[in-house]
A and B are shown apart, each in its own frame.
Chain A
């Protein structure tokens, strides 16, 4: 009998998992004992970190896209379809386009996060962002069309993808304007929903003086309540109002709609055992990456390490061995601190991040990583 491993979501986590499994289960795949199917609603694999650079005109959206078939091992079956629901009794996945449901014996949810700007009135019309291809392109045009004025970077919702990215954008825009001799013509304000500039205390402590040093205004405890696109103002639930000429907002996020309909968790996030990544209350269901509620940031690096752990666990289970691999919370992050400097952090469930002194070499490492990502996704690096 063929054992079906179904992976829902062909982003960073799902792709690394599919490729790692194909390597590990080479013999079983060849013997027809196992079949790996990757479900993704898009024909392409998308590498989102490129969008930060698209906003500054340094990269094109196409640099972050490749056909999924080119990135995924040939031993993996790809199905372009949207998974809507799970029948846990019959172990089947319901799909939007296919008439017949797809079978699974082991299911891994890797559906990532989606943006929901509609949750804040006015935000969808007025708020620029660099969290999608179109958003990053529109932001690039918005920036190029400005001679001066007030740029407000507002982190509206947490959790959101890549908690470092709003800080990176703020440091980069400051530097970008300085390089053009235009910084004097601009005010920049950074807002954050809690009482410090970042959710993680160590990152907040590191970033706070650096923002101030560059004359960037800071508004903490600022939870955007409404945006008025006509008046160009953003108001917070705490009663602060800011005028802006360009609003760059990190919109609220939810998980894939599929997670709610499949009853896998609230708000689109799957409750998992943070070490084994098994979905709490379900048999043979795992979740990895942004979709999983582990407490670590929604970062591609975390999705990658989690994929490695689940690959090992699935391979062990398939061979009737006890699954021993566990995820310790490992996350790594390069953080741009300007147009040609960056720092690096590595942390896990036990050890907090300790940002190093920013260097040019670290900036080049981030760019080099972005280039080599396609090999990483293929499981080659």
Chain B
């Protein structure tokens, strides 16, 4: 897992702020279902467990977490569909 403030460009954004666990992960998974391989998705979530849950799921499903940024009141997690 990398934690950075880098400038990854997302192709699409899933704003799951306000949703409680596991809402943000499920929102990400439905977006992954809908997009083509190679698409970069930015997930915005204010659920505390999102960074670990998303990383764990990405490892299991073979998708890639590019970076996780702590934006103060929420996380922005970039994931590439593999």
Contact = CB atoms under 8 A, between A and B. Distances in A.
Contacts of B21: 199, 201
B60 A238 contact: yes
A201 B62 CA distance: 25
A252 B60 CA distance: 21
Q: Main SS of chain B's interface residues?
A: helix
B69 interface: no
Nearest to A198: B22
A252 B19 contact: no
B30 A252 contact: yes
B23 A194 contact: no
Contacts, number: 47
B38 interface: no
Q: Main SS of chain A's interface residues?
A: loop
Contacts of B33: 119, 223, 237
A239 B62 contact: yes
B interface, size bucket? 10 to 19
A223 B20 CA distance: 19
A237 B32 contact: yes
B19 A295 contact: yes
Interface string B9-41: 000000000111111011001101100000000
A177 interface: no
Contacts of A119: 33
B61 A157 contact: no
Contacts of A158: 22, 26
B56 interface: yes
Nearest to B18: A295
B70 interface: no
Interface in A30-83: none
A159 B26 CA distance: 8
Given A194-B22, A295-B19, A295-B20, A221 B30 contact: no
B31 to A, nearest CB: 10
Contacts of A157: 26, 30
Interface of A: 119, 157-159, 193-195, 199, 201, 221, 223, 237-239, 252, 267, 293, 295
Interface of B: 18-23, 25-26, 29-30, 32-33, 53, 56-57, 60-62
23 contacts: A159-B26, A193-B26, A193-B29, A194-B22, A194-B25, A194-B26, A194-B53, A194-B57, A195-B56, A199-B26, A221-B56, A221-B61, A237-B32, A237-B33, A237-B61, A238-B60, A238-B61, A239-B60, A239-B61, A252-B30, A267-B30, A295-B18, A295-B23
